[in-house]
Amino acid sequence: MQTWRRALPTPLKSLSRHPTLVSHVHNDNSALPVVSIPHSSIYELGSQQPVLRDVSWTVRPAESWAVMSSGAAASHLKPALFGALTGTHRIAPPPPASQGGLFPFLGDEDPHKYVQMVRFAHRGQAAGDGFYDFTARYGAVREEDRLTLRETFFPDIARPVHKLAVPSLVTPERDVEHTAAEVEKRERAKRKHEMFDLLTEWLQLGRLLDLPIIALSNGQTRRARIAQALLAEPKLLLLDEPLTGLDHNSRGVLVALLQELKKRESSPHVIMGLRAQDPLPDGTTHVALIKDGGEVLAGRKEDVFPPYFTPAMAQTTASPGDRASRFNYKHRQHGDALVDLKGVSVQYGQRKVLSSIHWTIRANSRWHLIGENGAGKTTLLALLTGEHPQSYTQSSNLRLFDRERSRWATPLLHRRIGRVSPEMYNAFPRRNTLTVWDAVGTGFDGGFVPKGKRRVGIAHDGTPLAPGSHEEEWRVHRMHEVVRALGPRRWHAHPDKMTDERFFATPFPALTPGEQAMVLLMRALVGAPPLVLLDEAWAGMDRSMVEAAHEYLRDGGGGLTEEQACVVVSHWEEEVPWGPEHGVQRFRLDNGRGEQIFPKPQ
Ligand SMILES: Nc1ncnc2c1ncn2[C@@H]1O[C@H](COP(=O)(O)OP(=O)(O)OP(=O)(O)O)[C@@H](O)[C@H]1O
């Protein structure tokens, strides 16, 4: 089994020296349960059909629980189990009040105040319908974009003292009698400050506090949300998929931090939601495994996974270098340069994010772009898509499809680049009138508004496609081709009920986050663009979806031709479709510098 203990982060060492953190240990099994669901079913509100049947789940204070689903269909069910705890789902029969109700450890305290849920999977259906400009982060020029991390996430605790403030008015008075309530309030504020300092150190947020929130990378934002959730002082914290999108080191830091916080009396109990393919974090003692039929196996991890082993845990985490010793490296025949960067840099004020990057992406190449959270991967890809304003100033060093960047109108560039990214996922419009067909069909233009009579876009010169033309027929054919390879028949629990036609007619916002991610992948590939950029494309997907995507993206799978190049960004080696045996190349960003690290250039 993979553990993250190997890469123990430095803050852990300082934590063990922190006297306040090791003095209290949560009580043993005699303490009241944190969660108690005895033989109940779980229903969506207003429905008579149970989503989960006969659930018996008791969480005790000393235990560390992970909630995971066992297959693609079960991923619909994980939100239901969490929903039972947050009140969006009904539990029947309800946990008896005589035994303390759903949260016996809370006693009479209000669960709304003390149970907090933070979801890290992509946003779902109820998140508004319009498209917003996710590229604003690269400029961060609008007034509302200037709000810093400090102002947005930690307004009370981290407000900087104004330069003109009178010191005697902002420093606490001494020698004044205080009521017990005031003393308690002060103590609480002090604890909160200590916690804030600790969390910002551990989660490496200190130097990000005064950046515009919109400028933070995906992983940096996740770390900030975790700190914010812990500072709200919940008693039960539900973290759903907090590890997706975090780099290897940050995953280790977070898991170790949660384990250490467990020793503090005042820290929340944490229940973590994982994807089916995620390895169990160190320290997990119990698992609630949700099966496809809505059955929940809840118990000690070794009982849930006899004999303490599952295919998910068996997945390799070997780097291509390790794997190359087992597989012969496939030298791919590369074609023309599609992208050529010759000393490209990106800087915000004094802050250099990318420093003289040289990188050539050729037709038929398959790249894995790596780098820690904040290393500049998304920024680099935004230069290629022309969305980054500094792509203009770098124009002479940045050749795209054999022309300088400035000689491309950005929409024309988008027709040649199929892409998926967390930012785009979040920004994609979610109107109920937008069907899966419409969403995939926008891939031919690279835009976000369905166009054309058959909703497969317009011609390259901006005119409507001639009905029955070769181009229109080809596009419709491609729509069916991608849905056959990546659609419900590959991952749905009931493919007989969810046919391709039915899937195409489904409103995009009605899909689960994983299904939406699959649709956006289809959108990126449908137009067979020369360059495909897949930045964290697998977030929210289940194993069967990831497998279908990998198969399609490998040689012979039909998803990519020799004329195309593809770049995958992922913090998980398992998520990269290609190993050395497929001729993968690895490009790493580190401290602003970029280099090809695998295979080593001759
Ligand atoms: N407007 C800005 N001002 C200052 N710094 C910025 C600005 N926009 C981005 N940055 C910084 O640029 C760096 C690169 O961000 P980017 O999103 O490219 O990282 P990433 O490698 O994709 O990270 P992740 O793995 O977390 O997605 C981050 O440290 C970010 O804080």
* Confidence band of 362 (pLDDT split at 50, 70, 90): very high
In testing the pocket of ligand 1, which one of 141, 208, 370, 378 has its CB within 8 Å of the most ligand atoms? 378
136 found inside a domain: no
What is the per-residue pLDDT for 147? 79
User: Measured between alpha carbons, how far is 503 from 508 in angstroms, rounded to an integer?
Assistant: 9
Atom of ligand 1 nearest to the CA of 376: 18
Q: Look at residue 132 and tell me if it is in a domain.
A: no
Residue 389, pLDDT score: 86
Q: Read off the amino acid at residue 23.
A: S
Residue 144 has pLDDT above 90, yes or no: no
Answer whether 472's CB lies under 8 Å from 456's CB.
Answer: yes
For ligand 1, pick from 379, 425, 575 the residue to mutate: most ligand atoms within 8 Å of CB.
Answer: 379
Nearest residue (CA) to ligand 1, atom 6: 215
- Which of residues 265, 290, 314 is at a domain's end? 314
Residue 345 and residue 260 in one domain? no
Compute the distance between CA of residue 392 and CA of residue 407 in angstroms, rounded to an integer: 10
What is the 8-class DSSP label of residue 368? E
Domain ranges, residue 219: 5-10+28-123+149-171+184-314
State in Å: Cα 535 to ligand 1 middle. 14
Sole residue written with tokens 């995507």 = 549
Digit-coded pLDDT (tens) for 197-214: 889 999 999 989 988 888
Q: Are strands 286-290 and 296-300 parallel, antiparallel or unpaired?
A: antiparallel
Tell me if 176 is assigned to some domain: no
Residue 56 belongs to domain with CATH number: 3.40.50.300
Are 259 and 339 contained in the same domain?
A: no
> How far does residue 457's CA lie from ligand 1's centre (Å)?
33
Return the CA Rg of the chain.
25
Nearest to 364 by CA among 120, 583, 534, 126: 583
Which of 314, 339, 363 is the endpoint of a domain?
A: 314
Residue of 353, 383, 588 with the most ligand 1 atoms within 8 Å of its CB, for mutation: 353
Cis? peptide before 61, omega within 30° of 0: no
Helix (H) or strand (E) segment spanning residue 370:
strand 366-370
| Apex 263 CA angle, 256 and 208, nearest 5 | 45
How many A from CA of 418 to the centre of ligand 1? 22
Give a yes or no: residue 372 inside a domain: yes
Asked, for residue 142, whether it belongs to a domain, the answer is no
Most confident of 20-29, 73-82, 408-417: 408-417
Residue 37 sits at φ, ψ, to 5 deg, of -125, 100
Domain-located, residue 134: no
pLDDT band at 326 (very low <50, low <70, confident <90, very high): low
Confidence at residue 297, expressed as pLDDT on a 0 to 100 scale: 93
Regarding the beta carbon of 373 and ligand 1, being less than 6 Å apart is answered: yes
Residue 441 and residue 552 in contact, taking contact as beta carbons nearer than 8 Å: no
Do 280 and 363 belong to one domain? Answer: no
List 50's β-bridge partners, or say none: 43
Q: Are 309 and 331 found together in one domain?
A: no
Q: Which ligand 1 atom sits nearest the alpha carbon of residue 372?
A: 25
Q: How far is the CA of 182 from the centre of ligand 1 (A)?
A: 41
- 461 is written with which tokens? 């010169």
| Alpha carbon distance 205, 197 (integer Å) | 10
Closest to 135 (Cα-Cα) out of 149, 145, 125, 148: 145
Distance, CA of 204 to CA of 200 (rounded, Å)? 6
Mean pLDDT for the chain overall: 84
Please give the distance, rounded to the nearest whole angstrom, from the Cα atom of residue 374 to the centre of ligand 1: 5
Same domain flag for 310 and 330: no
141 located within any domain: no
Identify whether 504 is part of a domain: yes
The answer, yes or no, to whether residue 569 has pLDDT greater than 90, is: yes
Contacting residues for 502 by C-beta, under 8 A, at least 6 apart? none
- Cβ-in-10-Å burial (0-12, 13-18, 19+) of 314 comes to exposed
The number of folded domains in the chain is 2
**Domain stop point among 280, 314, 348:** 314
Q: Are residues 349 and 246 in the same domain?
A: no
Residue 114, pLDDT above cutoff 80: yes
pTM for the model stands at: 0.84
Q: How many residues does the chain have?
A: 602
